[in-house]
Each structure stands twice: as C-alpha cells, then as structure tokens.
Amino acid sequence: MSLARRHPFKQPRTIPSTSYLPTTSYQTRMEYNKEVQENSAHTEGFRFHPTDRELMKYLILFVISKPFSKLVPIVLEDLYTIEPWDIFKGKKDRALYFFTELKKKKTGNTRYVRSVGEGSWKSQDKGKAVCSEKGSILGYKRSLRYQNPGLPLHDGQWLMKEYSICDDVKKHLRQRFHEYNKEHYVLCRVKRKVGKDEDGIAPKETIIDEEINDIIGSNDAADTLAIDINRPFHG
C-alpha cells in the first residue's frame, strides 16, 4: 500500500499501520464501513494509491477474513443497486474503493448482473492478469464504463476497475481456509471523469471569505496562527 505525502525535496514518508479483522467481527455492513471510514481518515495531502498487486492482496485477505491495515479505505457496497453519482454524494474523492458481491443472472449461469437503475456497467476489455512478485497469476483486472444514454450528463462519465481472484487461487483458498465464504466478491475502483481542470471546476479570479475560513478554520484559529511581520524573529 502506498500512503505517502508527495514533497519535492523529501523522500515519501510511509504512515505506520496497525491491523484489524474485517467482516467476521462486524454485525452489519454499516458497522464495518463506519469502522473503515473512521480509521482511514488520514491527514489531508495523503492519498491511498495502491498498485494492482496490492489491491489483489487486499481482496484475497478480505475473502478469507484476514487482517490488513486500518488505514485502507475500502468499504463494503452493493455497486449494482446504487447509481455511481449517489456513491460519490458528499465526497470530494475522484476515486473510491469497494468490496462488492457479484450476482449471477440465473442459477448455474456464468454471467453476472451488471445493470443498475436505468443504466449498466459495460466491459471495455477482456481483462488483464495481475501477478504476484514471482509471476503467478493472482487474478484479473477488468475495465468497465457506466452507460446510460437516457442521462447524457452521466453516460460514459463513470469508470470502474474490477479486480477478481482467478480460479486457481480460489481453489487453494477453499482447501486451506474455512473462513473462505465470499466466492463471488470482487474489489472495485470507481472513478468519475473530469474535464481538463483537475477538480472539474472552472477557475475563478476571486475567492470569498467562507472559502478562506474553510481552509484556515475559525477566526480564533487564524488569530492563533497569525504572524506579526513587524516583530523580529528569534530562531
């Protein structure tokens, strides 16, 4: 996992992590997600930017209910019952990570339900292998795009990377772990597209007081941090 603050002059600093046990000790998805969100609320400026291999390892640990870092912001969500813009409601993140369960269209069928509301998630490729450090295939990464011609504002504007465990790894997990009971779970990275501007917001030449207050906090906090430029500095 890469949780490092980028600085032009310093080497990235890794945040120390502690472990917790996902899913098995939690009564509901809401309780699990609350715990993850509270623990992963790290300092502003830090980003969760894992590699494909690291995400695949998190998925494997999740399906066998093994511990991983408290700082990992991956929550449980049924992505095929909620529209992507509702997932991002109230959030500033451009990308979010989820464990979700795929549901088959029919019993015994190999195809999964990809529709959500009036739209659907359409595959964009056949999938790319994700390998371990020794070159063994752990699973596959697929690209999907949200399509809904009836809503031009959202049609094609949401992207997903879906990570799934390969059959051979699943076979080993079944043989070794009684806790393996999440056969059809995958890990998804959902991202909203933006324009040329990074935040998708047109730049403005002026700024209002409320925005300044949001950045520096209350007036009391600002007064505490104020520097008197007329007073000599003594190091």
What is the per-residue pLDDT for 113?
A: 77
pLDDT at 43 over 60: no
- In this prediction, residue 216 carries a pLDDT of 78
Structure-model confidence comparison of residues 4 and 167, the more confident one: 167
Classify residue 192 by its DSSP letter: E
- pLDDT of 219 over the 70 cut: no
Cα separation, 144 vs 89, in Å, equals 21
Contacts of 57 (CB under 8 A, 6+ apart): 138
Fold observed for domain 19-196: 2.170.150
CA distances from 200 to 92, 195, 203 (A): 11, 5, 9
Distance between CA 129 and CA 99 in Å, rounded?
Answer: 19
pLDDT value of position 5? 44
Q: How many percent of the chain have pLDDT more than 90? A: 28
